[in-house]
């Protein structure tokens, strides 16, 4: 009985890694779609989000079943409750990747990111992809150094988000309303990737150390 339960917990962990891997691909591809205007890549991200949503529902159901059938305590309980929450956060990251891809698709054949900000969005896309990659590796290895590095990428995304607003509001902006709207939303979505990555990172710290850190305190 214990052996089967342990196998199920392990499978839960593996599935979270798998889900995070899919989110990572979605974020990387959403960035590509945004920066290159590749319509097919945008469509791929939009379609793939359904699989991510399905993974969340599946993980969710299994976590609740494990709670009901195994009445876990201590570390086992922590693994399952954390799994529930991470699945929900990863699903939200998938939604954001879809939103970025949808903006790119709507702009096609124009590029959604204005020329003047293409460098900033390239940086944001790279940072968001690193957040997702490190999240996947953190889930896989439980190496808490990655949690620190996710916080750093989140700081970078916050700065880039501010840069975008400075560009929009600095007085030299002459984009169309559509460009202003798209830039505002895109920048907000990228900034949120960082927040969600930090949320997963902090939950992993909680899982490994038993300590949950408040907003604003460093991961370690």
Which residues contribute to the site for a second copy (CB under 8 A)?
53, 64, 67-68, 71, 73-74, 77-78, 81, 84-85, 88, 165, 168-169, 173, 175, 177-178, 180-181, 184-185, 188, 215
Distance separating alpha carbons of residues 13 and 7, to the nearest angstrom: 10
Q: Work out the angle between the directed axes of helices 2-36 and 118-141 (0-180°, nearest 10).
A: 170
Distance separating alpha carbons of residues 74 and 20, to the nearest angstrom: 25
Distance separating alpha carbons of residues 75 and 87, to the nearest angstrom: 18
Residue 139 burial class via C-beta count within 10 angstroms: exposed 0-12, middle 13-18, buried 19 and up: buried
User: Please, what is the minimum distance in Å from the beta carbon of residue 68 to a second copy?
Assistant: 5
Q: At 18, phi and psi to the nearest 5?
A: -60, -45
Largest distance between two CA atoms of the chain: 67
- Is 89 in contact with 200 (CB distance < 8 Å)? yes
User: Please, what is the minimum distance in Å from the beta carbon of residue 180 to a second copy?
Assistant: 4
Which of 126, 185 has the CB closer to a second copy? 185
Distance separating alpha carbons of residues 96 and 138, to the nearest angstrom: 21
User: Please, what is the minimum distance in Å from the beta carbon of residue 169 to a second copy?
Assistant: 5
User: Please, what is the minimum distance in Å from the beta carbon of residue 188 to a second copy?
Assistant: 7
Which of 82, 135 has the CB closer to a second copy? 82
Which of 80, 146 has the CB closer to a second copy? 80
Which of 35, 77 has the CB closer to a second copy? 77
User: Please, what is the minimum distance in Å from the beta carbon of residue 190 to a second copy?
Assistant: 14
Which of 41, 186 has the CB closer to a second copy? 186
Which of 53, 140 has the CB closer to a second copy? 53
Distance separating alpha carbons of residues 132 and 27, to the nearest angstrom: 8
User: Please, what is the minimum distance in Å from the beta carbon of residue 53 to a second copy?
Assistant: 8
């Amino acid at each position: 009985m214990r052996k089967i339960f342990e196998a199920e917990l392990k499978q839960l962990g593996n599935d979270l890694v798998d889900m995070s891997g899919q989110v990572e691909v979605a974020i990387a591809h959403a960035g590509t779609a945004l920066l290159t205007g590749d319509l097919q890549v945008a469509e791929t991200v939009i379609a793939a989000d359904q699989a991510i949503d399905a993974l969340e529902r599946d993980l969710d159901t299994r976590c609740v079943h494990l709670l009901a059938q195994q009445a876990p305590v201590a570390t086992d309980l922590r693994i399952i409750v954390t799994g529930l929450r991470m699945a929900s956060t990863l699903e939200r990251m998938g939604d954001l990747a879809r939103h970025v891809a949808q903006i790119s698709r709507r702009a096609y054949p124009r590029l959604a990111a204005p020329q003047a900000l293409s460098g900033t969005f390239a940086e944001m896309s790279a940072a968001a992809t690193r957040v997702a990659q490190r999240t996947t590796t953190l889930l896989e290895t439980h190496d808490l150094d990655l949690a620190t590095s996710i916080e750093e990428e989140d700081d970078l995304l916050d700065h880039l988000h501010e840069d975008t607003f400075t560009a929009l509001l600095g007085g030299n902006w002459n984009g169309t309303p559509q460009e202003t709207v798209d830039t505002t939303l895109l920048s907000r979505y990228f900034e949120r990737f960082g927040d969600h990555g930090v949320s997963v990172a902090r939950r992993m710290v909680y899982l490994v150390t038993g300590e949950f850190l408040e907003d604003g305190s460093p991961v370690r």
